[in-house]
Structures are given as C-alpha cells and as structure tokens.
Amino acid sequence: MNDVIYILLRRLRAPLITLIVVYAASVLGLVLIPGVDDQGQPWRMDFFHAFYFVSFMGSTIGFGEVPYPFTDGQRFWTLACIYATVIAWLYSIGTLLTLLQEPAFGRLMRRRSFVTEVLRLREPFYLICGYGVTGSQVVKKLAARNIRTVVLDLKQERIDALEMDGLSIRVPRLCADASLPDVLHDAGLRHQHCIGVLALTNDDQANLAIAIASKVLVPERMVISRTESDVTTANLDSFGTNLVVDPFRSYAEYLVLTTHAPYTHLVYDWLLNPLHRHMATANKRMEGRWIICGYGRFGRALCGTFRQAGVELTLINEGSDDLIPPLHRVRGIGTEAVTLQDAGVGDAVGIVAGTFHDADNLSIIMTARALNPKLITVVRQNLGENDLVFQSSRADFVMEPGRIIANRILAQIKTPLLPVFIERMLREHDDVWAHVLLNRMSHVVGDRELDSWGIRLCQEDTPALLMRQPGQTLKLRTLMKDPRDRTCSLACLALMHRRGTEVRLLPGELCELQEGDELLFCGLSEALHQMEWTVNNYNLLQYLLTGRENSDSLLSRLLNPGGRR
C-alpha cells in the first residue's frame, strides 16, 4: 500500500528535474561569467558563492550582490536566472498542490488510512457491506452492544451519513465496491478478528460475490446475506451461507402467522422487533378472506405463503394474466373505491397494499378503510425517507424490507439460540402456550424493548459459574437473581435450555446447570448487564448462592480460617 508515495514521486519527476536543471545552469553561469572584485581585479565566482547566491535568489529572499558588486554581464545572467528559478518553483509547487487536491489521490489516502485502521483492530468485528436502511440499523444495534464493525458502501453519501450518525464507537468505513476481492481484503476479510461478514447491498450479484469470497477464504466464519430472488437464495444456500434473508418471503411468513396464530405471531414479533406490537392487537379478527394489491416480488411471496396456509385470497393487479396462479382476481391498481368494491372489500378481513409506489399504497389503505373500518391494513413502504407518513398512516402493519432484514440478522447475531427457539415454538406449540408466554413477557418488560441473549457455560464466557465449591449445585434460579440484592429477581425470563441435542423450552427455575449448557434469556437489557456480573465474578456468585458477602482476599481468608475454602 505504498501506492500513494509512488504516485507522488512519479508525478514529481518532471518538476524536480526542472528545478535541478535550472539551479545547475544558474550556478554554472555565475561561475563562468567573469566579474571584478572590490579592487577592480578580474575575479571569478566559485561554486560555493554561486550556489549561495542562487539559493537566496531562487527563493526570492535577495541579500544583494555578494561578495562583490556584479558586473553588467553577471547582472544579465542573474536577470534570466531570477525568472527561470521563480517559474521552476511555481511549476513544482503547483504540481504538488494539484496532486494533493486530486480526487484519486484523496481516495488513495482514505483507502490507506482505512487499511491501517482495520489492521489495528484488536477486537472481534463484523464486516458490513452496504450501509442502507438495513446496514445502518445493524451497525447501530451492534454499537449499542459494544461490538465493532467495519463498513463498506458504494456511495459516498451513505458513508457521510455514517459519520453523521454519531455512534458511540469508532467504525472504520470506506467508499468502495464491496464485490471486489481486493476491497474486501483491505476491509479485513482475512483479518483474524473478523467474526462475521454481512452482505447487505441491494445488488444480489454483489452479495453473492461477497458471500462466496468469504466462504472460500475462511469456510467456518459466519456469512449472512440478503437476497431478493429465489435463484440467488438457492445459490447462496448451496455453499453454506449461514443465514439468507429474503425480506419479502420472511415478511410473508410473518404475516401469515397472524391469520391462524395471533399470539405466536406476537411472541415472534416481540423477540425480533425492537418496537413490538401491543398485546391488544391480537384480539382483532384475522381469519377470513384477504385482499392483496400488487403482484410484484412481495405480492408473489405473499400469495404463495397464504395459499399454502389455506387462506382465501383476492388479488388486485394491473397488467397481463401471465404467471398468475388461479385466484379470484380483479383488474386495477386498488386506489379507486370501485376496484376495491369489486374485490369485495366489505366482507374481507384484511388488505395488503404491496405495490412499488408508496403513494399508491397509502391511497389503497385510506380508501379501503373508508369502505370497511374494521379492515386489517398492511402497507408496504418502499423508501426509508417516507417514515413519517407511514408512521401516521395508522396502518396495522408497515412492511419495510430494510428493517425486516435488520431484525432477522440481529436476532442471529445476538444469539444463534433465538432462531432455534422460534423454530421449535412454531413447530411444537400452539397458540395457548404462546399466549401464556406472552403474558409472562409482558409482565417482565411491559412496553419497553424486549432484548434477548444467550449464555453458554464455559471457561471463556462464564468463568465464575465453573468455579463452584464442592457440593454446590448451580440452579437456573441463581442466575436470574439480582447480584445487588439476592432477594430481588432480574427483569428477565429463561426461554430455552440446551444440553447437547436435548432442548427444553421455558425451563423451570430449579433446573440444574452443567458445563456446556446453553441458555437463552429474554428481558430488559439492564438485566443482561447485571447477569454478566454474576457469570464473571466469583464473589457475586457466592453471594447469590450462599448469601454471604466475602471479599475472598488472602487477608480475609487468614482472618477467617473457619470460613469457606
């Protein structure tokens, strides 16, 4: 990465040679031209004096004619030299300044400082390619957990936006094409502390290139990619990408859950979305016929998933009949009352406004609500800038691809146990079970953000938990007590306990823990900070287990020989 210096030197060749030649010619001329000394004797300037004179003349300092006043011949030559040296200097300095101001040079300098910054990272970090809605959400949440990130994006505006976001930790960033291997390499793809690569650009090919580069170089490292087509999804899965998020498909799955299991849907929503929906929303009637407006990528994913779940559908779309499954279908956009009435908006239970245009989508739900106030409205938001309008649209669900991907990815990064829990819940438990769980969650966090975290009993993560005295058993209850006061409990809930392949959802408080066990908790993030004290600090753990507060120092052990240990 000495490109900068090489380019600088290469471009400076011509001005430097000009300077040398002008100086050499000036000095030589002064030495050769005969002069007279103060006694009127013929005298010739030597190299030393000539160089001295040219040095101050060239820099326009001008001490006068030394050591003796010049003859007219010498003055002639000096006149030529003055102009030549000034022009040579202007030329050299001008070239240097142009070089420093050149965008290419600035880019090289930025790249260089980025590379040094990444190389100096001494903590685990995630490499994030693409800083759009998704990328910024992920970076912000990771920064809140003090996890370092490195950001690449194609557009300078987004990199500037990152600078303005005011994150609590420094994020190295570069404006470059992340699908190029050398850019990825500079961003730390082979860095020993890079623990995950997130391909979040809006170009499927670029995501594919990033994912495959990472998998080829370090196969065991986590790679998460977003995708917008089934072909790319299949391709990404084929070489073992850890998580592939298709926003349309995942939203369709999320939405279809509301139709037959509203409480399970809410549990899922609470665990994944930072701004979760209120419990009362589950009381709305969801089963019945749905209307879908627009048959783009989102509409297609919805139709497929809804049909699989056996939901009755009416489709409103413009354009040709090609590729459309046999459904009850009405032609039009859905923004006019006539079209909606044709589609039977009066007895439908919900409407999805899923076209490419935000204004159309808003218009659809406003019209539909005027016709049937009880309708459940789902609106697709295409542009992040329209946040304000959509927030005040009073739609029941706002579908924004960027946020969906961010939430899915954060769930995976927070703890890999969370997806396991959700999958088990969907497969094994009914809505009543979810309702009970939801009540417990609500009791713990109320309306605040429900955070979730995983704990693994091992030497690296939880040293205190493995340093128990003989005979002491560790129960789940101990972990959930407040280390500041053992009579209080932390605002958290144990969701899952995993030992090897044996998985138990909602483990009891008396469940005994062993080395190698994994636990999934949800609750307030303050509870996580307190729990970190318990699992890392031996004294606090002993206090929670026995109720005695010993400092366990050498002095206290000497003073208290009958005590523990």
Residues that bind other proteins (CB under 8 A): 2, 6-13, 16-17, 20-21, 24, 27-28, 31, 46-49
**Nearest residue (CB) to other proteins, 10 versus 529:** 10
**Nearest residue (CB) to other proteins, 45 versus 256:** 45
Q: Give just the sign of the alpha carbon dihedral 132, 137, 143, 148.
A: negative
Strand partners for 128: 151, 198
Q: How far is the CB of 2 from other proteins (least distance, A)?
A: 8
Strand partners for 290: 313, 350
Q: How far is the CB of 34 from other proteins (least distance, A)?
A: 15
Work out the burial of residue 161: count CB atoms within 10 Å of its CB; fewer than 13 is exposed, 13-18 middle, 19 or more buried.
middle
Q: How far is the CB of 54 from other proteins (least distance, A)?
A: 13
Q: How far is the CB of 55 from other proteins (least distance, A)?
A: 13
CA torsion 352-356-358-364 (nearest 10°) is: -40
Contact 248, 228 (CB under 8 A): yes
Contact 433, 501 (CB under 8 A): no
400/418 Cα distance (integer angstroms): 22
Q: How far is the CB of 90 from other proteins (least distance, A)?
A: 18
Contact 358, 383 (CB under 8 A): yes
Q: Which residues of 172-204 are buried (b: 16+ CB within 10 A; e: fewer)?
A: bbbbbbbbeeebbebbbbebeebbbbbbbbeeb
Q: How far is the CB of 182 from other proteins (least distance, A)?
A: 16
**Nearest residue (CB) to other proteins, 51 versus 433:** 51
Instruction: Give backbone dihedrals phi and psi of 312, rounded to 5 degrees, phi first.
Output: -75, 140
Q: How far is the CB of 38 from other proteins (least distance, A)?
A: 17
**Nearest residue (CB) to other proteins, 91 versus 433:** 91
**Nearest residue (CB) to other proteins, 44 versus 484:** 44
> What is the CB neighbour count within 10 angstroms for residue 232?
19
**Nearest residue (CB) to other proteins, 157 versus 182:** 182
Q: How far is the CB of 48 from other proteins (least distance, A)?
A: 4
Tell me the C-alpha to C-alpha distance, in Å, between residue 152 and each of 174, 199, 477.
5, 10, 44
